[in-house]
Amino acid sequence: MKLSSRIDFLAARNGLELERGERVGLGLPVYNLSQSNPTRAGFAWEPEALAAAFSAEGNRFYSPDPKGLASARKAIADSLAASGRPADPERMLLCASTSEAYSYLFKLLCDPGDSVLVPRPGYPLFDHLAALESVRAAGYRLEYSHPRGWSIDFAALEELLDGPDGERARAIVLINPNNPTGSYVHGDELAAVTELCRERGLAIISDEVFHDFSLEPREGRVSLLGADEVLTFVLDGFSKKLCLPQAKLGWIAVSGSGDEAAAALSALELISDAFLSAGTAVMNAAPALLERERSVLAAMRERMAADLAVYREVLEYPGSPHRVLACEGGWTALVQSPRFAPEEDLARGLLREEGIYVHPGFFFDMEKEAYFAFSLIIPPGEAGAAARKYKAYFDRFLQRIR
Ligand SMILES: Cc1ncc(COP(=O)(O)O)c(C=O)c1O
């Protein structure tokens, strides 16, 4: 039977992941430096807190609303306002997850064959979400300079917009901060992106799931909540904000010039009405869950800072061939190491010889080798042990050279 070409990419299973599975199956130890699941990294909620939040009387009833329950939207808007990012709950639409929010927006903005521009390096999820909507994700370049960090390469972005992908481009996606570079969007970058979008009739999608998880932010980072110069959609959800990927809820905050934003919101309601996928129980739980937001955030930021410090301590000794890149925020730090072999071989060697599972840079379309993405959410003891094993693996190459 012929399946849709939209799922062609699913055939390409990641060999490294398969090998990790085999190791686990054999009972061999694996240090997972790619851990991105907070519930397996010491951030699982107490069952009592979850039970209390999910015990609302209203869970017995179904009151469908394509925008999602007003009480949940208000609780989310209040929490955003408390963190200095006010949002209008009337211009917010709830759905099952941030990933689903992308699928709604691609349906809203794109015809099959249209494109959206996404940052490179970036997380491959967005290419998949776009492909599932028959939309092309065209990468725009982020550049790294030391010690400034990452920024948008505007010459490359304009070149892209002037080429075939630009002709059918419908939106620029900003991941704010980006995964795995950890880079926020800054005021000067936003002004330039807004200008490009205004000139070319593009929308902005700003994914802010990691926005509150700042580490070493540069001056001038901005949120796009409430941005009103061009049609703007800001995405977020509970998976990251509350470390609750098992109780997902995502949202889209819509802003822009009055008429345009209102029209987009009405059309989004039509899309949402076909799915009505935001669960009643998690929407009713939202106010109680969000009460713990500050403590979840504080614990996570403490963990991120501790892990980053551990990686620097182990890998950035005098004369070290490794470098931990500037990291403004998010749950990942990029480590640059000598390219003694192609990244894929290094990643396999790390797994086979040291039991280290870590995503190599090519996984995120890094332009050069060798880079590896280190999780910032694993317990610091584990992070230190894994970093020392990582160092030992590269030390053996160094010894062979000397
Ligand atoms: C930047 C970013 N946005 C969105 C998502 C998906 O979030 P959700 O679980 O709400 O679909 C991820 C998942 O890792 C992510 O890294």
Cβ-Cβ contacts under 8 Å for 72 (sequence gap 6 or more): 94, 249, 278, 283, 284, 286, 287
User: 141 and 266 in one domain?
Assistant: yes
Domains contained in the chain, number: 2
Residues 284 and 177 in one domain: yes
Residues 6 or more apart whose Cβ sits within 8 Å of residue 12: none
Which 3 state secondary structure label does DSSP give 302?
A: helix
Distance (Å, whole) CA 334 – CA 312: 11
pLDDT of residue 8: 77
pLDDT at 165: 85
Measured in angstroms, how far is the CA atom of residue 209 from the centroid of ligand 1? 7
**How far is residue 294's CA from residue 82's CA, in Å, rounded to a whole number?**
10
Residue 148 — very low, low, confident or very high, per pLDDT cuts 50/70/90? confident
Ligand 1 atom at minimal distance to the Cα of residue 123 = 16
36 and 101 share one domain: no
CA of 380 to the centre of ligand 1 (A): 23
Q: 326-342 burial, b if ≥16 CB within 10 A, otherwise e? A: bbbbbbbbbbbbeebee
Looking at every residue in the chain, the average pLDDT score rounds to 96
Note whether 209 and 241 are within 8 A (CB): yes
Same structural domain for residues 196 and 220?
A: yes
Euclidean distance between the first and final Cα of the chain, in Å?
57
Same domain? For 235 and 286 the reply is yes
Please give the structure tokens belonging to residue 86: 């006010």
Q: Give the distance (Å) from ligand 1 centre to CA of residue 55.
A: 27
Q: Which domain holds residue 341?
A: 5-44+294-401
CATH code of 382's domain:
3.90.1150.10
What is the C-alpha to C-alpha distance for residues 382 and 402, in angstroms, rounded to an integer? 30
The count of other CB atoms within 10 Å of the CB of residue 70 is 14
Residue 153, pLDDT > 80, answer yes
- Tell me which of 242, 274, 291 is where a domain ends: 291
In order, the DSSP letters of 143-167 are EEETTTEEEE-HHHHHHHHHSHHHH
Same domain, 71 and 177: yes
Domain boundary among 291, 322, 343: 291
Question: Where does a domain end: 245, 273, 291?
Answer: 291
For the Cβ of 285 lying below 6 angstroms from any atom of ligand 1, the answer is: no
250 Cβ closer than 6 Å to some ligand 1 atom: yes
Give the pairing type, strands 356-357 and 31-32.
parallel
Residue 13's pLDDT is: 60
CA distance 204 to 185: 12
Residues 62 and 37: their CA atoms lie apart, in Å, by: 31
Q: Supply the pLDDT for residue 10.
A: 61
**Which residue has the CA at smallest separation from atom 16 of ligand 1?**
179
Q: What confidence category does residue 12 fall into, taking pLDDT thresholds of 50, 70 and 90?
A: low
Residue closest via CA to ligand 1's atom 2 equals 209
For the record, the structure tokens of 175 come out as 């991941």
CA-nearest residue for atom 8, ligand 1, is 98
CATH number of the domain encompassing residue 178: 3.40.640.10
